[in-house]
Amino acid sequence: MFAIFFYVGGEVAIGSNLVTYMKECVGIIQEFTAGRFLAFYWGGAMIGRFVGSLSMSDMENAKKYGLMVSVAVLGFGLIFSITGFHIEEVLPFLGYLVANYFAFVAARSIPSRTLGIFATINIALLVAMLVFDGMLSLWCILAVGLFNSIMFSNVFTLAIRELGEHTAQGSSLLVMMILGGAVVPPLQGLLADNIGVHMAFALPIVCYVYLMWYGFKGCTIRK
């Protein structure tokens, strides 16, 4: 249950504080421009969910991987056309799209492995975001959306497997844990008031550390 709590909490906390971060730490003052960048965070999550659904399918690898690339390119094209950036301005996101593809390949369509790998990557991105400044830092945090993409579905799948007749009850409890989206963002806001907006993004790292542990070890069913 806590995996859903931390996933929703981390994702919403980042999304809720991104515009403030862009204004105070990156120098992007205009709301319209900040919104264009924010589209890559939520749009990246959308792309990742479509690509992730293909990665978990049973089709042969050549067809699967080809469709994954096609969907990623189409998704990027949609976001790119809506936001109106020049291509050179969004090249970092293309690099993260490539990394996202290879992370899916490395996970080998195993939900627990995918969750663990993606949580590990998000930890690395958040650490890099804290270390660096400016646009480099911004693209690190925007890329987190790509790797958030499959977490809800994978956690849900792992949590309810083998529950048998208790599946409905387990599912209800998991849905209740989206409460994390109402708890973690205010905590990050409190941190921002005391240590600054930039360093407050250390809090979501805690969320992803738990998700990494859950993916690699915590989801194992103990007999």
pLDDT value of position 167: 76
What's CA 85's distance to the chain center, in Å?
22
pLDDT level of residue 55 (50, 70, 90 thresholds): very high
Helix/strand/coil (H, E, C) string of 77-112?
HHHHHHHCCCHHHCHHHHHHHHHHHHHHHHHCCCHH
Average pLDDT of 58-73?
Answer: 94
- Residue 13 pLDDT > 80, yes or no? yes
- Residue 223 pLDDT > 60, yes or no? no
Q: Of 200, 179, 181, 199, which is closest to residue 189 (Cα–Cα)?
A: 200
Average pLDDT of 182-187?
Answer: 96
Residues 6 or more apart whose Cβ sits within 8 Å of residue 153: 49, 52
Q: Where are the alpha helices (DSSP H) in 132-202?
A: 134-148, 151-160, 167-176, 180-195
pLDDT value of position 171: 83
pLDDT in tens, 118-155: 999 999 999 999 999 999 999 999 999 999 999 999 99
Average pLDDT score, the chain: 93
- Residue 220 pLDDT > 90, yes or no? no
pLDDT value of position 35: 94
pLDDT in tens, 82-127: 999 999 999 999 999 999 999 999 999 999 999 999 999 999 999 9
pLDDT value of position 173: 84
How wide is the angle at C-alpha 157 spanned by C-alphas 152 and 158, nearest 5°?
100
pLDDT value of position 222: 62
Residues 70 and 64: their CA atoms lie apart, in Å, by 10
pLDDT in tens, 21-34: 999 999 998 999 99
* Of residues 44 and 173, more confidently modeled: 44
pLDDT value of position 54: 95
Identify the structural domains of the chain with CATH numbers, from first to last.
2-218 (1.20.1250.20)
Residues 117 and 115: their CA atoms lie apart, in Å, by 6
| Three-class secondary structure of residue 191 per DSSP | helix
Residues 6 or more apart whose Cβ sits within 8 Å of residue 157: 111
